[in-house]
Amino acid sequence: MTSGFTTPTVGASSAPPVRSPLAQTRTMALMASQTPTTPPASTTTSALPSVGARVLAFVAILIGGTAGGVIGYAFVDLQVTGDSSLWAGLGALFGAVVAALGTAVVVILTLRAMGEWNTIRAREELAAASAKSNAANRNVPRVR
């Protein structure tokens, strides 16, 4: 199949390539023979998790960070003697950040898995409904 461009025989030209009329008619014929695509459904679904799931995820990250801060503070407080408020505070900060980041990773993976599971379930329901409507259309007798 040719692209429809005519190439000069000698040298390079700065002019745009010239299309042959045959290529334009073939393209238009192909476009005219294609069936139009159906517009998307009026109810557009979002890939975002529900608001409740996002709020629960945020609360889980806060709780994880708080627990990590308490553990970090207690760990450093047990190790250092004397006036160790700076070190205990740094231990609490480090523990809170590490625990919050770890909890955030788990939360993000969980939310993505929930979204994928909902997508798969919706796709299967759509396929089942389509198969059901196709089966109903096949039972119509044809006259020869």
**Domain extents in the chain:** 51-136
Residue 12 has pLDDT above 80, yes or no: no
Which pLDDT score, from 0 to 100, does residue 118 have? 82
Question: What pLDDT was estimated at residue 133?
Answer: 77
What is the pLDDT at residue 49?
A: 86
Secondary structure (3-state) at 18? strand
Share of the chain above pLDDT 90, in %: 39
Higher pLDDT, 31 or 24: 31
Q: Give the Cα separation of 93 and 71 in Å (integer).
A: 10
| Cα dist from 93 to 72, 76, 78, 108, whole Å | 7, 11, 16, 22
The 10s digit of each residue's pLDDT in 92-137 is 999 999 999 999 999 999 999 988 888 888 888 888 888 877 766 6
Q: What is the pLDDT of residues 57-79, one digit of tens each?
A: 999 999 999 999 999 999 999 99
